[in-house]
Amino acid sequence: MSPGILGKKIGMTQVFQPDGQVVPVTLLKAGPCVVVQRKTPATDGYDAVQLGLLEYVKPKRINKPMAGHLKKAGVEGVRFLRELRLRPGDADLKTGDRVLVDQFKPKDRVDVTGISKGRGFAGFVKRHHFRGGDATHGSMFHRAPGSIGASSFPSRVFPGLRMAGHMGVQRVTVRNLEVIEVDPDDNVLVVKGAVPGPNGGYVIVRRARR
């Protein structure tokens, strides 16, 4: 049993349970993956595996250092790689081992990590959910941020202050999603709820920690 698997987001739909309840689900094309590198405490100081998602990739899309890294492991057709820490109870994976979606079962809990959709430049209300001012009674304060710092002290703007700017394109993890269905023939994993990122975006599926 591996600590997780890599995949792509297919899209959202809904399934009907035997009691007639409608459940919103996300379809993930999970795997097949291959172990590109195994890291051990003796050589690297920690225990982990580097997984690669097997897919069609043009050779010119892989640079020379990555091509050499993959050739050393005897792997081809990998562009998306991620490292997963091994925990007690995980399988002793070796370089070249395959990781497939059939290791998951319905009712399992997983954490899914992806890159959120980009929203471009956004203001305070959309980006940080500021309330804004009144829209009536002669108010001239509507979607402005208000004070961003006093003049006498601290006489500057503190780093990290919530302001308008680039929204989205951030690493987001949704925890404890329930696995509804597993299709080993098509490498499809069906999880309950929403998953970050656009359709076709890469995701990391880990076994839930909590």
- Report pLDDT digits (tens) over 68-125: 888 888 888 788 889 888 887 777 788 888 888 888 888 889 999 999 999 999 999 9
* In a shared domain, residues 62 and 111: yes
* In a shared domain, residues 158 and 188: no
* In a shared domain, residues 106 and 126: no
* In a shared domain, residues 97 and 65: yes
Q: Which residues pair with 97 in a beta bridge?
A: none
Q: Which residues pair with 191 in a beta bridge?
A: 26, 179
* In a shared domain, residues 54 and 108: yes
* In a shared domain, residues 146 and 178: no
* In a shared domain, residues 96 and 200: yes
Q: List, in order, residues 6 or more apart from 104 with CB less than 8 Å away.
A: 5, 30, 110, 179, 182, 189, 205
**Which two tokens mark 149?**
């710092």
DSSP 68: H
Domain count, the chain: 2
* In a shared domain, residues 81 and 36: yes
Q: Are 87 and 128 in contact (CB under 8 A)?
A: no
CATH of residue 90's domain is 2.40.30.10
**Which two tokens mark 159?**
């780093």
pTM as predicted: 0.82
The whole domain housing 154 covers 119-167
Task: Give the up-direction half-sphere exposure of residue 30: CA atoms within 13 A in the CB hemisphere.
Answer: 26
Average pLDDT over residues 189-208: 92
